[in-house]
Amino acid sequence: MSKEIITNVKYQEWFAKRFTVTTFENEMKWYSTEWTQGHEDYTVPDAMLRFARSHGIAVRGHNVFWDDPSTQLGWVKALSGDQLRAATANRMRSVMSRYAGKVIAWDVVNENLHFDFFEEKFGAGASAAFYQKAHGMDGGALMSMNDFNTLEQPGDQNGLPAKYLNKLSQIKDAFPGNGIGVRMAIGLEGHFGATPNIPYVRAALDTLSQAGVPIWLTEIDVQRGPDQAYHLEQVLREVYSHPAVHGIVLWTAWHPQGCYVMCLTDDNFNNLPVGDTVDKLIAEWKTSSHVGVADADGHYEAELFHGDYQVTVTHPAAAANSTVVQSLSVDRESDNEYTIHV
| CA pair distance 166, 300, nearest whole angstrom | 45
Residue 88 and residue 103 in contact, taking contact as beta carbons nearer than 8 Å? no
Under DSSP, the state recorded for 301 is -
| CA pair distance 78, 94, nearest whole angstrom | 21
Integer angstrom CA distances of residue 81 from 119, 122, 249: 12, 8, 36
Evaluate if residue 211 carries a pLDDT over 60: yes
Measured distance between the N- and C-terminal CA atoms of the chain, rounded to whole angstroms: 45
Residue 76 and residue 117 in contact, taking contact as beta carbons nearer than 8 Å? no
Mean pLDDT, residues 117-122 = 97
Amino acid identity of residue 166, one-letter, is: N
pLDDT digits (tens, 9 = 90+) for 257-268: 999 999 999 999
Evaluate if residue 43 carries a pLDDT over 60: yes
Instruction: Say what the pLDDT of residue 321 is.
Output: 63
Evaluate if residue 286 carries a pLDDT over 90: no
299, with CB counted inside 10 A (0-12, 13-18, 19+), is: exposed
Amino acid identity of residue 211, one-letter, is: A
Residue 231 and residue 265 in contact, taking contact as beta carbons nearer than 8 Å? no
Amino acid identity of residue 28, one-letter, is: M
Instruction: Say what the pLDDT of residue 303 is.
Output: 83
pLDDT digits (tens, 9 = 90+) for 313-327: 988 776 666 788 999
Evaluate if residue 178 carries a pLDDT over 60: no
Instruction: Say what the pLDDT of residue 330 is.
Output: 85
What percent of the chain has pLDDT above 70? Answer: 96
Evaluate if residue 149 carries a pLDDT over 50: yes
Q: What average pLDDT does the chain have?
A: 93
Element holding 70 (H helix, E strand): none
Residue 221 and residue 192 in contact, taking contact as beta carbons nearer than 8 Å? yes
DSSP 295-338: -TTS-------SEEEEEEEEETTSTT-EEEEEEEEE-SSS----
| CA pair distance 294, 313, nearest whole angstrom | 10
Strands (E), 7-157: 21-23, 58-66, 105-110, 142-147
Nearest to 22, CA basis, from 219, 205, 183: 219
Evaluate if residue 282 carries a pLDDT over 50: yes
Integer angstrom CA distances of residue 54 from 26, 63, 98: 21, 22, 18
- Pairing of the two strands 142-147 and 58-66: unpaired
Integer angstrom CA distances of residue 217 from 151, 191, 247: 10, 10, 6
Evaluate if residue 180 carries a pLDDT over 70: no
Amino acid identity of residue 37, one-letter, is: Q
Residue 106 and residue 61 in contact, taking contact as beta carbons nearer than 8 Å? yes
Q: What domains are defined for the chain? A: 3-285 (3.20.20.80), 289-341 (no CATH)
Under DSSP, the state recorded for 6 is G
Residues catalogued as catalytic: 111, 219
Instruction: Say what the pLDDT of residue 79 is.
Output: 98
pLDDT digits (tens, 9 = 90+) for 17-35: 999 999 999 999 999 999 9
pTM value is 0.90
- Pairing of the two strands 215-222 and 191-192: parallel
Cβ atoms < 10 Å from Cβ of 9: 9
pLDDT digits (tens, 9 = 90+) for 214-268: 999 999 999 999 999 999 999 999 999 999 999 999 999 999 999 999 999 999 9
| CA pair distance 212, 232, nearest whole angstrom | 26
| CA pair distance 259, 278, nearest whole angstrom | 16
Residue 211 and residue 163 in contact, taking contact as beta carbons nearer than 8 Å? no
- Helix, strand, or coil (residue 31): helix
Cβ atoms < 10 Å from Cβ of 95: 26
Residue 120 and residue 159 in contact, taking contact as beta carbons nearer than 8 Å? no
